[in-house]
A and B are shown apart, each in its own frame.
Chain A
Amino acid sequence: MSNGARLGAPERFVRKFGTSGIFLGRLLWACIPALGRPRLIIAQIFNAGGRSLIIIMLSGLFTGMVLGLLGREVLERFGAETALGTVAALALLKELGPVLTALLFAGRAGTALTSEIGLMKATDQLTAMEVMAVDPMRYVAAPRFLGGFIAMPLLAAIFSVIGLYGAQLIGVQLLGVDRGTFWSQMQGSVGIHDVTEGIVKSLVFGAVLSLIAVNEGYESEPTAEGVGLATTRTVVASSVLTLLLDYVLTAAFM
């Protein structure tokens, strides 16, 4: 790690890729025994998910409201405002729900995970566990990874549902789109594969983002500056990877 500064950018990337790969292997291995400790995982689902709930719900509501406003205005130009329900549902389920939730998740839960693990490392808590013959990979990293992985799709689902309510609130209640048409159009044209696409995306984002957050915390330099840098890296890497993977997954579902 310490001689990383002397390496060029490509070497550093390869090294980072390699260490993250090894970390992922160890993490998944540690997840097997960690699954037998549901209490630890539930606590982490609450940490990553429960504590992000308010911002996810608020963001979902506003996103849906914007969809209602814009959707109605744009669709009206084509005389198709009755399709508002379909447009809002497809946009939220396939794209906005998983992606915006992932970006918010990285900022709220990802940073919390990285800084928590980084500080545990800086204050010798991880070393203390090792000396007490408790593998911190099993006790700290795996439950946090699993917690984030499980929380992310749930948050994305909540985001989409609240978003739909927001779109309905503006489109139907405020701008006068027919309520029956709004819901029946949606019911008629949204298929199970659209929902599947959203679920798969949020599962992938959940796994990748939790891995990044846990890995950055675990590998951070055990200093105040090191933990700060690791937290920044979590947000940057998570955001960029979310958008990149979003493109790949969208293309795959075409």
Chain B
Amino acid sequence: MVDVRDVHYAIDGRPIFAGLNISVRRGLITAVMGPSGTGKTTLLRLITGQLFADSGQVSVFGRDIDSLSNSEIYATRKRMGMLFQNGALLTDIDVFDNVAFPVREHTDLPESVIRKLVLTKLEAVGLRGAAELMPAELSGGMARRVALARAIVMDPEVLLYDEPFVGLDPISLGVILRLIKQMNQALGITSVVVSHDVQELATIADQSYLLSGGTVVASGTPQELARSDSETVHQFMTGSEEGPVRFHYPAPDYASQLLGTDQE
């Protein structure tokens, strides 16, 4: 469904990906995990054709995204949905219009049909009653659920989730987890979940990739990752400060900097 092959990508000369390989299979939930700053969001932008790889290939629905024209990229995006970390709802229109937005933009369906469609999707995320609220009146968890309703309103084949669990209370988190699973099982939507919440992902993912240093350091089912001998995998799965992924940003020697001996 989505194939990332030997992708290299750098921002301002700083390499983000150096030979990244990820394969997302139809109908499965694929988790992409990694410490902050490993380019998880960049990966989603490569898949949606907002960024292009410096080298390597990103193919979506069997077509190389790099070779597509602008209108073909837009056509490809209509088959995808994406859930943003903060929801990214349009703040000047209410919940109903937000969910209806892609439908109104891309179809000529009569308003009565749009209404049913939107209410169905809002019901699926439990927010049919909030249809008339403005985005500013929603809590973080509710905003994300509305954004999820918007992401599925065009019945996408692939759903991309960007850090869907960040900053949620336990109840909202449980709801989002259940919804991701539900979207996948009931609607057969292929899902790519980008996150660093290992425990949550382990409960829903069929396939996991762990990114570090611009490449995949481990892949497999969550159970396989948990049993891995790799130090990086172990450090990440257990949340330890000690290990190959350093907690400290590179800095001059601590003692000499405090004592001022490294200054001229």
Contacts and interface: CB of A to CB of B under 8 A. Distances in A.
Interface of A: 2-3, 119-120, 123-125, 127-135, 139
Interface in B206-233: none
B111 interface: no
B86 A134 contact: no
A120 B82 CA distance: 17
Interface of B: 12, 48, 50, 74-75, 77-78, 80, 82, 84-86, 88-91, 101-102, 105-106, 147, 150
Contact of B77 (A2, A3, A133): A133
A131 B48 contact: yes
Contacts, number: 51
A136 to B, nearest CB: 10
A158 B16 CA distance: 55
Contacts of B82: 128, 131
A3 B86 contact: no
Nearest to A126: B88
Nearest to B102: A132
Contact of A132 (B50, B85, B86, B105): B105
B262 to A, nearest CB: 26
Contacts of A127: 50, 84, 88
7 contacts: A124-B85, A124-B88, A127-B88, A128-B82, A128-B88, A130-B77, A133-B102
A25 B250 CA distance: 44
Nearest 5 Cβ contacts at the A-B interface = A128-B88, A124-B88, A133-B77, A133-B74, A131-B82
B2 to A, nearest CB: 14
B78 to A, nearest CB: 5
Contact of B84 (A3, A128, A133, A139): A128
B50 A134 contact: no
A125 B12 contact: no
Contacts of A128: 82, 84, 88-90, 147
Contacts of A134: 101-102, 105
A144 to B, nearest CB: 12
Given A128-B84, A130-B77, 15 more contacts: A2-B12, A3-B12, A124-B84, A125-B88, A125-B89, A125-B90, A125-B91, A127-B50, A128-B90, A128-B147, A129-B90, A133-B102, A133-B105, A135-B74, A139-B105
Contact of A131 (B12, B80, B89, B105): B80
A124 B102 contact: no
A4 to B, nearest CB: 11
Nearest to B104: A134
A208 B253 CA distance: 54
A227 to B, nearest CB: 14
A222 B187 CA distance: 35
A132 B12 contact: no
Given A2-B12, A3-B12, A123 B77 contact: no
